[in-house]
Amino acid sequence: MQIKAKDLAVLLKGSIEGDPEVSIHKASKIEEGEEGSISFLAKPSYEVYAYSTKSSILLVSNDFEPKKKINATLLRVDDVYEAINFLLKQFGQKSKRSGHSKLCEIADTAEIASDTYIAAFTVVKDGAKVGEGTEIDEQVFIGKNTKVGKNVILYPGVKIYHDCVIGDNCIIHSNAVIGGDGFGFKPDEKGVYDKVPQIGNVIIESNVEIGANCTIDRATMGSTIIREGAKLDNLVMIAHNVEVGAHTVIAAQAGVAGSTKIGAHCVIGGQAGIVGHIQIANGTKIQAQSGVTKKIRKENTAMYGSPAIDYTTYIKSYAIFKNLPELMEQLKPILKRPTNNK
């Protein structure tokens, strides 16, 4: 994409300070800017780069007041992050692919829409369905009777087991495994574990994005469900019969144990762990590395620690905890005082 500053201003509903005819063809970080690129300034800590960047256009907020001369043409907007998000989507657009590689394997009973793209060494099993506009990269496996919706992107190495459902407009990144067996075993009287059959499936609703190397286990019975618009980072583990609410986001290396129900619009930090068979209320925020061991009933609660407690309580407690050695030194003289026992 190549575009002039004056045309960008129209697209972003912004105003120009500098050369309206200057054009850009790519985006770059402000500290690495070069001629022909657009960069943005959103955080005050990066302002120092505004005066040295070689970017042709610098996207700034309407209230930005430079302290020195800036060589780049300024494009002022109300919301820098919203504007740069719009631009990145334009630069990141890819042309639609279609056609099936001669090296893919598609079962005779599979139903594949005519305008799909299927790359080499991908396998689509009996009874599977793939919707219009879907793009499937190399070495993807789609199991028996699995349904993949419209405009889905499956990156290389994705594995989707039998009977699962993927909604429209989903993105699943490389090496994610959808529908592997849940961790279900029952010990006998000798402590020998017998496998409990996992006969359910996974349902991923529309507009969900699943990061690389995620694992989402199939239900023992019923379904493991990822609701509309949820986003999972890389290396997230979702156990059997879990439900992740609509528009909830989960950062990398977090894990959710079996049968837990997470509400809508929750934010779960990296490496957080959530035990099984509990409910997490809508809007809950769980800090990174926290361990949630009990039900969270109140909506929009922030939790921190392991086991997790109220965020504000944790911060206050930590302030005391880190000073325990000094506090103990202050207590020693008091503890050594003689007591009058009556």
CB 296 within 8 A of CB 281: yes
Rounded to whole angstroms, the Cα distance separating 221 from 226 reads 16
Beta-carbon neighbour count of residue 70 at 10 Å?
A: 19
Q: What are phi and psi of 329, to 5 degrees?
A: -60, -35
What does the buried/exposed string (b/e) look like for 285-310 if buried means 16 or more CB atoms within 10 Å of the residue's CB?
Answer: bbbebbebeeebeeeebbbbbeebee
Return the active site residues: 240
The whole-angstrom separation of Cα 222 and Cα 325 is 52
CA–CA gap between residue 191 and residue 185 (Å, rounded): 11
What contacts 238, CB < 8 A, 6 or more positions away?
214, 215, 216, 217, 224, 226, 232, 244, 256
